[in-house]
Structure 1
Amino acid sequence: MVSTRDSITDIWGPRTPSLGSHWPIRVDQNVEEEPDRWVQASCFLCSNGCGIDIAVKDDRPGGRIVGVRGREADIVNRGRLGPKGLHGWVANASVDRLTQPLVRRGGRLEPASWDEAMDLIVARMKAAKEKYTAGSIGFYTSGQLFAEANYTLSVIRTAGIGTLHIDGNTRLCTATAGAALKETFGADGQPGTYSDVEATDCFLLVGHDMAATATVLWSRVLDRRRADRPSKMIVVDPRRTATAAEADLHIKPRLGTNVAVLNGLIRELIEQGHADRAFIEAHTLGYDELSRTVASYTPGKVAEIARIPADQIREAAAMIGGSTMLLSTCLQGVYQSNQGTAAAVQVNNVNLVLGRIGRPGCGILQMNGQPTAENSRETGSGGDLSAFRNFGNPRHVEEMARLWNVDPATLPDWGPPTHALQIFDYVRDGSIRVLWIVGTNPAVSMPDLARLRGDLGRRGVFVIAQDAFMTETTEMADVVLPAAIWGEKTGCSTNVDRVVHLNRKAVEPPGQARSDLDIFLDFARRMDFRDKDGAPLIKWTDAEGAFDAWRECSRGRPCDYSGLSYAKLTGGSGIPWPCNDRHPDGSERYYADLHFPTDPDYCESYGHDLLTGAAVTEEDYRAKRPDGRAFLRAAEYVPPTEEPDADYPFYLSTGRVVFHFHTRTKTGRSKALRDAAPDAFIQVSEEDASRLGIAEGEMLRVTSRRGMAEAPARIGDIEPGTLFMPFHYGYWDDPGRQRAANELTLYEWDPVSKQPHFKYAAVRLEKAAGLSPLPQPAETKREAAALDGGAASRPCLADYIGLLLASEECLVRGWETLRKAHPMTPDIGQQSALFMGWSEESAAALRPHAAAYGAGREGEAAALDKALAIGRPQTGFGLMRDLQGLWLMVNESFVSTAVLIQGARALGDRALEKDLQGIESRNERQRTWLLTRLRQAAPQTLAVPS
């Protein structure tokens, strides 16, 4: 084997110091035979997106991969590759590749033809949609699909099936990156670039072990640090990682306290006089609220919360403030921890308060974890509308409908997209009956694995799993589809740096395996999806056609691909978007003009309350008049929901190791990588190990309220009271014990990004007296899951129709009672008569729908009458209490109406939706009058004796 270096022992390679100029070229290579040809691609084993050439030998049909080398022309890596990139390619030739479809028969997965498998999938999809609506169908996909497959699936689920239930494993790793960028800048897209590394004089890495997660980018940082005038570096991480060991200042906060630490840092930057007030005034909104919020986060208070020396906050602010530039990054230590979005937004705030953005050396990299996580977010396969359009903006929905030539009313915009954990929760409660899992292994990667196994094992759900290998997830599926992987298909991928790479097919996939795109195209054809003119909804037949369709979809949006083509992406470097008429060669630096995509008619999101996740309304957003300015969004620190106690005295965090990716589906099949990191471990501090008598390598057992895992001890480089486990290790290679870190983690999520909390769980630690058997599915499927339930029934809809009808009938009685109870108050009689008529009108409009759907009314009318109790004495106080009672009842109706409108839209019942909108309008006017009347009466009634 010809290799330029041993990347297992020399992970980051030799130094080539650089400062302010292009990063020098160094071509890394690992080839076992002289190839017949080289094929252009990019590395697919982290989010860095390194340009790569695949070495192919054509000595057998379809060819075979015999090695890789870095592409020296590529702006991302200048020829360099990390250990996963140099060794992961051998997985393509693994003898245990899936080569034909499998279908569950008699409780066993058995070989089947593509026609058998796809016909079964289509039959189940059609039956589920007919019986239970499109809301009974869900997709859980991956940040490893090319843009072409992602976009095709997005069109299928949105305009073909019409379900909100789609998300990817990107929700687990970098949903918070996209959320934080939208909250601050109005749309996704990185405001930093890799070339800032050479220019900057200061790095701030928060919860980002770059040395392990993006080895080539870390090489670039090390080269900058070895220049004649090295940049400063601050790392915030509770472990002493290789990244932290390089830092000038290593801050080791207690798990879950990132917001407190960052608030303290922002306060200190302001106190030390480093805030750029001219920039803040010209280009941001929200500074006053931010400064008020951080004012109480003194170094002393932060020290108490985060258990760090107070002087570290002052020192960090002085180091940053004394620099002229700043490149900030963050990753899972922020995203997967307590208050993930709030903390990531504070990282944005640090740069904005300093005015350090949009120029060389000044930027923010909200990092990704996967090679096409950006494509998931761009195309809409992560749930959002394609090309960073706003689901809350009707004009954006209409744009999509015009582009796809469908009726806007058929697109599922009646609620927020369903995030990953909620999808599995719907599987658990039985409302999702068909779940298609694509290119990911949630039976190891999701939190609280015992719960997840119960969800996938549920008899009522039909599970489709599309993968290249048998995994813990495919073992539980009803249909398994063999998929082509990297090197075996053509398509584009976009990295953290917004650089788009074309990946050319190098070899044929094994056996009958097909590309994800080909599988989706076949599915769409068999489902016979049509546009409103009767033409096929999916109008492309290959990867380049899909890319051209996606390019047009992105035109004029922040992620504008309109200037890109396969021809333009062939032969040289990847190209960063936006690439269009204005930027024909792409855009290295985003936001150089300091104009941000916050215009209400253009933005991707109106934002959220960072603590509650409540959405900002379009009306409130427009009132802020952002005018291209960024938002400085403030957030108070809130403690984690689970903390150590007497029973579970340790905090556990999970994360990555440098030699593996995700659940090791590919990297675990490379001998070099497997030998470098063969097993999980439990990292424990020297103090805790000494106190508990634990020796290096001794088998330990860690237990949470959810489950248990066992692994050998690794001692040192972590704070006392804190443990760490890598999350890569599951059970497909039969370790003989429970060792998956996610047996222990919490099934809860960030209120804004909905990203799970993997970074803190209360656990106890002990020596393992004996190994525990491997976990088993909660329920073993004996047959391919049946669509149970018979004729479609919607009892919950009937319940809410009954509740609303009872509420409106109660209001009729309430308005009449109010009129009779307060005859001497001049306006009450007139207004009561008007509003009683409105409530009668609403009740009359509901009755036909109650006849059609049913109306659950058990005890509702009597309970509402008792709660209302109108008819108090004819005093000012009595009138106010009666008005308040009616206001509460109108709100009862208003909420029921809002809920039912969403249900009507999901059902496609336009008549019900129209009648409900009429009720909603009347309720809103009743609410407004009642609240106005209460406020008018309050000063005299409450303050003046009578």
Structure 2
Amino acid sequence: MLDRTADPRMRRTPYGPPDAVERLAAALPGRLRDALPPVIRTGSPWPVRVDVLLEDGLSEDDVDAWVPGVSVLGAGGDALDVAVRDGRVVGVRGRAADRVNHGRLDPREGDAWRRRSGRLTRPLVRDGDRLVEATWDEALDRVAGRSRELLAGPGGWGRIGFHTGGRLFLEEHYTLAVIGKAGIGTPHMDGDTRWQAAAASAALAESFGADGQPGTWTDVDHCDAVALWGHDAASADPVLWERVLDRRLGPGPPAVVAVDARDSAVTREADVHLAPRAGTNVALMNALLHELIAGNRYDPAYLAQHATGFAELCRVVEAYPAKRAAEICGLPACDIERAADVLGSAERLLSTVGPGFHRSNQAVAAACQVHNLHLLRGMLGRPGAGVLQLGGPPSGRNALETGAAGDLPGLRNWANPRHVRELADLWNVEPSVIPHWGPSTHATQIFRYAEEGSVGLLWITASDPVGAVPGLDRVLSRPDVFVVVQDPCLTDTARLADVVLPAAAWGERTGTVTSADRTVHLCEKAVEPPGEARPDLAILLDYARRMGFADRAGGPLVHWHDAESAFEAWKACTKGRPCDYTGITYERLRAGGVQWPCAPSGSHGTERLYAGGRFATSAGQCQTFGHDLATGADYGDERPEDPAGRALLHAADYEPSPEVVDEDHPLVFTTRRLPVRPAPITEASPQQGHGPGLEVHPSDAAVLGLGEGDLARVESPLGSIEARVRLSGTRPGLVVLPLPAGGDEALARAAAHLTATGWDPVARQPLRTVAAVRLSAVNGAGGARPGLGPMAVAPMTPLPAADPGVPATAGGPAEPSDRFEEV
């Protein structure tokens, strides 16, 4: 274990696990916990520490008002209060009473609230080759006019697409979903969530029947082992990592297993660190499962009652003893066995799964193997035993729940006629209006349809995809694609739009967001948006009114008028669903975050899912009938809902990654986000004077004649970048480019463009994380300045013609392709 107490930058609040009585109390439903005597502590033992970030020269006494808000960084959804002085935001403060962060702040918040320059204050419309200011009536009349024109033609519902980013509140996501699915009837709705959280969501649905995290942040308090699967929590979720470190410094510290090929604060802290070759996660997971089964370290009674598929799982993992997996993964077999010992002996195991699994080869299959491990050991539904699939910001969870991306609203199954009828009755529309003949079109496929000309209007909200998708600027510049961008700032994407709608930013509107552990928080409006900028909800409601969207009775389809009434409409959509919000109100949220599901009869939300071993696979609940993890084929009626509500053990054979090294490109390239604040300086974590550079193992550098600080070029078949070398503890054969949190996004995009994009067959999430590359010294670079050099990126090859499984419509190609990849 590293010494994390000597560094004054690392403020620690050590604590130990609850005692046996407190753990028993934590396992009780909320209404029973309320009946316990006060002497029995029922809350988290994690000490409160209130972080305050204010403008220089200001103190808390100088603040006019503190307005409740929530962080949209990472997956945590940390509660905070927004500091307002003279009508503007001047800082933030952690909320001490909140169940998620106990007053702590993600250090990135220090920059997030300051980023308010370059704001749009009036709508813009295209006049030839330039954007000019316009009134709201002029801008929205153009959008509504083009919408009506497309809808009037054959298959017009397939001519309109929506791409949504992570800034929207739940109420805005739901309003957008109703407009798109019931007002227009388009299947072309997706967004940034596809690139961040799709694999996490799909894995949860495949194993447990529906999206929704089984675990909770308080499982850190109770666990005796933490496994981080492809998750650099120190960078991505620093408040969660602080909680783990505080447990590690207190009595009864949990063991830590880290699976990540990169060198990071998490891997240096771990008791067991596994650094597998890129793309071999499934082989590693199968070996760990093999070791547990072979060593009889599983719970036969739990499996017999609460899971199916054990025999098939045994058959598959039998072929993956530690020795064979070690050869595939490039690991010592003894390290796999050590990890299995920790995982197999833990009484309360918490797993967090991150991008190293979600954006790698066989993403959903690998994430499901983590679920298999917990099901084998019966490690679900009790304090300290849970899984957290962490993908993207909190609002991304809302996009998935509400149907603005992925499945139908309320985690419903598009292939279940009963679910479609439920929505039709709720919205008072004909079931045939709601697109349910196949899964929603995924994000990159929507852009492909726009490139082909079948999507004639593309509405992009709270996202700047031009910077993330190579060649998209070419698509959005087509004269036959009418582009609407709704954003607080004039982004690269907005510069290509036909209409730009100025939106209110964080702190300028009211709404709710849901964190990764299902905690719902309310964000209240703190300040007015600049100029004529409007809240996203107000923009969508105005569009719906202009379009005249109506239900069967002739009344308005979108009948709410503000954030709270939109939240009440969403609650009705969730009644009886796994994500039941019906017991949550704005009034309750003003007292603190509440977890779903939460029915009106309960005094609390539900802290852990599946406590009774009954999963969302039961009749009427399941979000999916399941898929073949290797091909993505939908099982449909071949695997119907399970009447007993049992989880599914998804077996998966290892399939090698298509991105393989060869003589010309013998190394593997990837990236990692740097921690949001400096890590402690230790012998295991040297910090070089020239700053972050390209992390290379000393043995690889020696072969290439590269030394510390040398300028090197990384080349893949698609492009190249140049950076200074930093000798590090990354695994041999791997080259890692650290990306500063909140830093140069152009660098991040350039690095991403080195990689050929594959797709997970189930989640349709791009797996652009690794590339086979060659590394070479840049001649004559010895006198160049430290840091990053020039970057060159190759253009993107055209996207595939279609997404298999999406039926032929007026909004897409006539014949789906059987090939699903982007190159």
1:574 is aligned, of 593, 603, 613, to: 593
Look up the equivalent residue of 2:106 and give its one-letter code.
Answer: G
Please say if 1:381 is aligned against 2:404: yes
Q: Does structure 2 retain, via aligned residues, the 8 Å contact 1:710–1:739?
A: no
Look up the equivalent residue of 2:183 and give its one-letter code.
Answer: G
Using the TM superposition, give the Cα deviation of residue 400 of structure 1 relative to its aligned residue in structure 2, in angstroms.
0.3
Specify the alignment match of 1:260 in structure 2. Answer: 283
Distance in 1, matches of 2:11 and 2:584, equals: 33
Q: How does 1:150-165 map to 2 (within 5 A)?
A: 150-165=173-188
Using the TM superposition, give the Cα deviation of residue 513 of structure 1 relative to its aligned residue in structure 2, in angstroms.
1.5
Please say if 1:327 is aligned against 2:350: yes
Q: Does structure 2 retain, via aligned residues, the 8 Å contact 1:148–1:517?
A: yes
Specify the alignment match of 2:584 in structure 1. Answer: 564
SS in 2 for 1:388: coil
- CA change 1:767–1:427 in 2 (3 A) is farther
SS in 1 for 2:82: strand
Q: How many residues matched?
A: 753
Using the TM superposition, give the Cα deviation of residue 471 of structure 1 relative to its aligned residue in structure 2, in angstroms.
2.5
SS in 2 for 1:91: coil
- CA change 1:650–1:615 in 2 (3 A) is same
- CA change 1:255–1:732 in 2 (3 A) is closer
RMSD value, Cα? 2.7
Distance in 2, matches of 1:236 and 1:598, equals: 30
2:499 is aligned, of 463, 479, 489, to: 479
Specify the alignment match of 1:48 in structure 2. Answer: 76
Distance in 2, matches of 1:359 and 1:677, equals: 47
Look up the equivalent residue of 2:455 and give its one-letter code.
Answer: I
Q: How does 1:459-608 map to 2 (within 5 A)?
A: 459-570=479-590, 572-608=591-627
What is the aligned-residue identity percentage? 47
Distance in 1, matches of 2:423 and 2:540, equals: 20
1:13 is aligned, of 11, 14, 22, to: 11
SS in 1 for 2:120: coil
1:178 is aligned, of 193, 201, 208, to: 201
Specify the alignment match of 2:141 in structure 1. Answer: 119
SS in 2 for 1:151: helix
Q: Does structure 1 retain, via aligned residues, the 8 Å contact 2:722–2:791?
A: no
- After superposing the two structures, state which structure 1 stretch, 16-25 or 251-260, moved more: 16-25
- CA change 1:103–1:708 in 2 (3 A) is farther
SS in 2 for 1:360: coil
Please say if 1:657 is aligned against 2:674: yes
For residues 366-410 of structure 1, give each alpha carbon's deviation from its aligned partner in whole angstroms, at most 9, with x where no partner exists: 112212121111111113110111101001000001101101111
Structure with a larger share of its residues in helix = 1
Distance in 1, matches of 2:183 and 2:738, equals: 39
Distance in 2, matches of 1:621 and 1:776, equals: 46
Specify the alignment match of 2:157 in structure 1. Answer: 134
Using the TM superposition, give the Cα deviation of residue 167 of structure 1 relative to its aligned residue in structure 2, in angstroms.
0.7
Distance in 2, matches of 1:360 and 1:732, equals: 40
Q: How does 1:389-400 map to 2 (within 5 A)?
A: 389-400=412-423
Using the TM superposition, give the Cα deviation of residue 123 of structure 1 relative to its aligned residue in structure 2, in angstroms.
1.9
Structure 2: gaps of 5 or more residues: 1-6, 19-43, 678-687, 782-788, 813-823
Specify the alignment match of 1:720 in structure 2. Answer: 732
Q: Which runs of 4+ in 1 moved over 6 A?
A: 676-680, 727-733, 773-779, 904-907
Specify the alignment match of 1:81 in structure 2. Answer: 105
- After superposing the two structures, state which structure 1 stretch, 223-232 or 342-351, moved more: 223-232
- CA change 1:749–1:778 in 2 (3 A) is closer
Look up the equivalent residue of 2:330 and give its one-letter code.
Answer: R
- CA change 1:694–1:15 in 2 (3 A) is farther
SS in 2 for 1:384: coil
Q: Does structure 2 retain, via aligned residues, the 8 Å contact 1:208–1:329?
A: yes
Specify the alignment match of 1:694 in structure 2. Answer: 706
Specify the alignment match of 1:940 in structure 2. Answer: none
Please say if 1:418 is aligned against 2:428: no
Specify the alignment match of 1:103 in structure 2. Answer: 125
For residues 186-233 of structure 1, give each alpha carbon's deviation from its aligned partner in whole angstroms, at most 9, with x where no partner exists: 011111111110100011111000111000010111111112111111
Using the TM superposition, give the Cα deviation of residue 695 of structure 1 relative to its aligned residue in structure 2, in angstroms.
4.2
Distance in 1, matches of 2:499 and 2:664, equals: 42
Distance in 2, matches of 1:631 and 1:539, equals: 40
SS in 1 for 2:105: coil
- Per the normalisation by structure 1, the TM-score is 0.76
- CA change 1:683–1:560 in 2 (3 A) is same
Specify the alignment match of 1:406 in structure 2. Answer: 429
For residues 270-296 of structure 1, give each alpha carbon's deviation from its aligned partner in whole angstroms, at most 9, with x where no partner exists: 111101101110110000000110001
Specify the alignment match of 2:170 in structure 1. Answer: 147
Specify the alignment match of 1:760 in structure 2. Answer: 770
- After superposing the two structures, state which structure 1 stretch, 647-656 or 400-409, moved more: 647-656
SS in 1 for 2:773: strand
For residues 135-187 of structure 1, give each alpha carbon's deviation from its aligned partner in whole angstroms, at most 9, with x where no partner exists: 12111102221000000000010001111011121111111111011000001
Specify the alignment match of 2:750 in structure 1. Answer: 740
Look up the equivalent residue of 1:472 and give its one-letter code.
Answer: D
Distance in 2, matches of 1:444 and 1:408, equals: 38
Q: How does 1:808-887 map to 2 (within 5 A)?
A: none
Look up the equivalent residue of 2:586 and give its one-letter code.
Answer: Y
SS in 2 for 1:320: helix
SS in 2 for 1:68: strand
Please say if 1:710 is aligned against 2:710: no
- CA change 1:379–1:762 in 2 (3 A) is same
- CA change 1:476–1:727 in 2 (3 A) is farther
Structure 1: gaps of 5 or more residues: 1-8, 661-675, 780-795, 797-894, 908-946
SS in 1 for 2:108: helix
- CA change 1:306–1:164 in 2 (3 A) is same
Look up the equivalent residue of 2:326 and give its one-letter code.
Answer: A
- CA change 1:540–1:282 in 2 (3 A) is same
Q: How does 1:365-380 map to 2 (within 5 A)?
A: 365-380=388-403
Q: Does structure 2 retain, via aligned residues, the 8 Å contact 1:727–1:741?
A: no
Using the TM superposition, give the Cα deviation of residue 13 of structure 1 relative to its aligned residue in structure 2, in angstroms.
2.9
Distance in 2, matches of 1:51 and 1:653, equals: 32
Specify the alignment match of 1:915 in structure 2. Answer: none
1:612 is aligned, of 618, 625, 631, to: 631
For residues 225-250 of structure 1, give each alpha carbon's deviation from its aligned partner in whole angstroms, at most 9, with x where no partner exists: 11211111100000121011110000
Q: How does 1:235-246 map to 2 (within 5 A)?
A: 235-246=258-269
Q: Does structure 2 retain, via aligned residues, the 8 Å contact 1:706–1:744?
A: yes
Look up the equivalent residue of 1:90 and give its one-letter code.
Answer: R
For residues 330-362 of structure 1, give each alpha carbon's deviation from its aligned partner in whole angstroms, at most 9, with x where no partner exists: 110000000000000000000100111111110
Look up the equivalent residue of 1:40 and give its one-letter code.
Answer: P
Specify the alignment match of 1:628 in structure 2. Answer: 645
Specify the alignment match of 1:288 in structure 2. Answer: 311
Look up the equivalent residue of 2:352 and give its one-letter code.
Answer: T
Using the TM superposition, give the Cα deviation of residue 777 of structure 1 relative to its aligned residue in structure 2, in angstroms.
9.1
For residues 245-269 of structure 1, give each alpha carbon's deviation from its aligned partner in whole angstroms, at most 9, with x where no partner exists: 1100000000000000000000001
For residues 456-495 of structure 1, give each alpha carbon's deviation from its aligned partner in whole angstroms, at most 9, with x where no partner exists: 3334322222222233322332322222111111000000
Using the TM superposition, give the Cα deviation of residue 66 of structure 1 relative to its aligned residue in structure 2, in angstroms.
1.0
Specify the alignment match of 1:879 in structure 2. Answer: none
- CA change 1:612–1:296 in 2 (3 A) is same
SS in 2 for 1:524: helix
SS in 2 for 1:386: coil
Distance in 2, matches of 1:99 and 1:234, equals: 49
Specify the alignment match of 1:782 in structure 2. Answer: none
Using the TM superposition, give the Cα deviation of residue 729 of structure 1 relative to its aligned residue in structure 2, in angstroms.
9.2
Specify the alignment match of 1:807 in structure 2. Answer: none
- CA change 1:81–1:772 in 2 (3 A) is closer
Q: Does structure 2 retain, via aligned residues, the 8 Å contact 1:482–1:512?
A: yes
Q: Does structure 2 retain, via aligned residues, the 8 Å contact 1:164–1:383?
A: no
Please say if 1:309 is aligned against 2:332: yes
